[in-house]
Amino acid sequence: MPGGSGAAAADPAIERTLRRLELTVTRRLDGLLLGNHLGLVPGSGTEKAESRTYHVGDDVRRMDWAVTARTTVPHVYDLVADRELETWVLVDLTASLEFGTARLEKRDLAIAAVAAIGYLTARSGNRLGAVVLTTGHGPRLVPARTGRDGLRALLRTLLAAPRTALD
């Protein structure tokens, strides 16, 4: 994948590559990741959180018997509902990634890995953000955003990142 300037990020070849990568990732993993976390649904959730002492009026079906047996005081567990996941990636685009094979540099592989993670994250309405390390520049924070537009903006930022300190 070409990179190194803002004009390259708007290249139609890059857009075609991003769309093809999205289709490849989603087709291969379609149906394999169901049930990883709770979606955007109302309710108190089903994931156990921490235990607390029982108070009158608490649901006895949430009794935490292991903690109750250890402490001899009735305990119940609270429930947590994951409303939205926020995924962060650390992308190293320093000069150390400026090598590879004739077909693919390590830099391009790192961007493809971010794209794969991003397409899986964006499918269920979660956010993806990044911290990007480049040679000659400090770490750059790309805020977490939802959806495909946010992911494509992140990938364009990665593709437009300077390749070396001489750029």
Mean pLDDT by 10 residues, the chain (167 residues): 46 71 66 50 65 91 92 88 76 81 82 85 81 84 87 86 58
Q: What is the pLDDT of residue 131?
A: 92
The Cα 156–Cα 149 span in angstroms is: 10
Say if CB 59 and CB 102 are below 8 A apart.
no
Confidence (pLDDT) at 118: 86
Strand 47-53 vs strand 75-80: parallel, antiparallel, or unpaired?
A: antiparallel
| One-letter-per-residue 3-state SS of 86-107 | EEEEEEEECHHHCCECCCCEHH
* Torsion on CA atoms 138, 142, 144, 149, rounded to nearest 10: -160
The domain limits of the chain are 6-33+83-160, 47-80
